[in-house]
């Protein structure tokens, strides 16, 4: 049975250090049957890889990104070389337009974008069975630094889920009987937000939606990122950033 580790935002190369061999030495014992899950703000699919025309047909490269196409390869190669399979949900700091032009496939019971053979985007509103545990995933969040960003260059409106993604989430939860082992999101529900004093104080449609799942959805633990803190907020909600926890 594969081992599963979960950690917080990596932001491209900015916060990738926690997955270095020195800080995460256990990876030497792992294989591609083991998993590291990043709960949003993966930030690697940003400019596109050098074979973007094959991997992302239909993606229109923003003029300001044109000279950087191919820049994603270095980090994707880094993850691909690791002794584990990398899974990530999307956060707010992702190029959602680029992510959404990767081919969709079904993997372990839910829909994914396979970025590389062992780098996989867990899409919104999905339920997966991975190494003996079940997971509900719902990426996305609001950017508090929106005012410093340019639309379709460094900020994308799809940072928050569409109506279809909310509907798909509810349908998939209906199908699994509203019971999973773990919930993985980037932001947390408004109820959890109230218990935290952070720099992300605002409630929005997604945090309200996540709150609305409470009481109906049965789960053991809910992991989320976004707040750039490591904190066990209450019995079954844990904010992750630098910590790499094993399930
Ligand atoms: Fe972040």
244 touches 204 (CB < 8 A):
no
Closest among 153, 141, 151 to 91, alpha carbons compared? 141
Distance 29 CA to ligand 1 centre (A): 29
Across residues 140-149, what is the average pLDDT?
92
Find the range with the poorest average confidence among 16-25, 59-68, 194-203, 211-220. 194-203
- Confidence (pLDDT) at 199: 65
Specify the pLDDT at position 194: 87
Instruction: Tell me, in angstroms, the distance from the centre of ligand 1 to residue 11's CA.
Output: 6
Determine the distance separating the centroid of ligand 1 and the alpha carbon of 144, expressed in angstroms.
10
Contact 47, 65 (CB under 8 A): yes
Q: Tell me the pLDDT tens digit for each residue of 80-138.
A: 999 999 999 999 999 999 999 999 999 999 999 999 999 999 999 999 999 999 999 99
Look at residue 68 in the predicted model and tell me its pLDDT.
Answer: 95
Spacing, Cα 9 to ligand 1 middle (Å)? 5
Q: Which has the higher per-residue pLDDT, 195 or 205?
A: 205
Dist CA 240 CA 232 (whole Å): 9
pLDDT, average across residues 70-78: 96
Going from the Cα of 225 to the center of ligand 1, the distance in angstroms, rounded, reads 7
10 within 8 A of 43, measured Cβ to Cβ: yes
How close is the Cα of 159 to the center of ligand 1, in Å?
12
For residue 226, the CA-to-ligand 1 centroid distance in Å is: 5
Answer yes or no: is pLDDT of 157 > 90.
Answer: yes
Distance CA 185, CA 226 (A): 9
% of the chain beyond a pLDDT of 90: 94
pLDDT above 80 for 197: no
pLDDT, position 79: 98
For the chain, the average pLDDT equals: 96
More confident call, 199 vs 89 = 89
Give me ligand 1 centre to Cα 174, in Å: 30
Rounded to the nearest whole angstrom, what is the distance from the C-alpha of residue 41 to the centroid of ligand 1? 5
Does the pLDDT value for residue 198 go beyond 80?
no
**pLDDT for position 9:** 98
3-state secondary structure (DSSP) of residue 82:
coil
Q: How far is the CA of 45 from the centre of ligand 1 (A)?
A: 15
Distance 177 CA to ligand 1 centre (A): 31
The pLDDT value given to residue 172: 98
- Give 201's pLDDT tier (boundaries 50, 70, 90): low
Distance (angstroms) between ligand 1 centre and the Cα of 10 equals 7
Give residue 202's pLDDT.
79
Domains, the chain, with CATH or none: 4-246 (3.60.21)
Which residue has tokens 């337009």?
97
* Cα(83) to centroid(ligand 1), Å: 25
Residue 200's pLDDT is: 66
- Distance (angstroms) between ligand 1 centre and the Cα of 103 equals 25
Mean pLDDT value across residues 195-210: 85
């Amino acid at each position: 049975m594969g081992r599963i580790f979960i950690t917080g935002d990596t932001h491209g190369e900015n916060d990738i250090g926690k997955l270095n061999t020195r800080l995460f030495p256990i990876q030497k014992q792992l294989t591609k049957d083991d998993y590291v899950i990043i709960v949003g703000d993966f930030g690697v699919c940003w400019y596109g890889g050098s074979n973007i025309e094959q991997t992302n047909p239909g993606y229109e490269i923003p003029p300001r990104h044109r000279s950087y196409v191919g820049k994603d390869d270095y980090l994707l190669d880094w993850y691909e070389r690791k002794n584990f399979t990398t899974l990530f949900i999307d956060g707010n700091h992702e190029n959602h337009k680029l992510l959404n032009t990767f081919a969709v496939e079904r993997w372990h019971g839910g829909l994914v974008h396979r970025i590389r053979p062992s780098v996989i985007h867990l899409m919104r509103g999905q339920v997966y069975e991975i190494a003996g545990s079940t997971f509900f995933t719902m990426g996305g969040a609001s950017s508090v630094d929106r005012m410093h960003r340019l639309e379709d260059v460094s900020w994308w409106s799809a940072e928050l889920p569409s109506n279809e993604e909310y509907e798909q989430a509810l349908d998939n939860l209906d199908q699994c009987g509203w019971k999973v082992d773990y919930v993985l999101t980037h932001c947390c529900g408004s109820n959890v937000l109230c218990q935290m004093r952070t720099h992300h104080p605002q409630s929005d449609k997604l945090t309200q939606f996540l709150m609305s799942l409470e009481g109906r959805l049965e789960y053991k633990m809910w992991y989320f990122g976004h707040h750039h803190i490591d904190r066990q907020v209450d019995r079954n909600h844990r904010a992750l950033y630098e910590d790499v926890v094993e399930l």
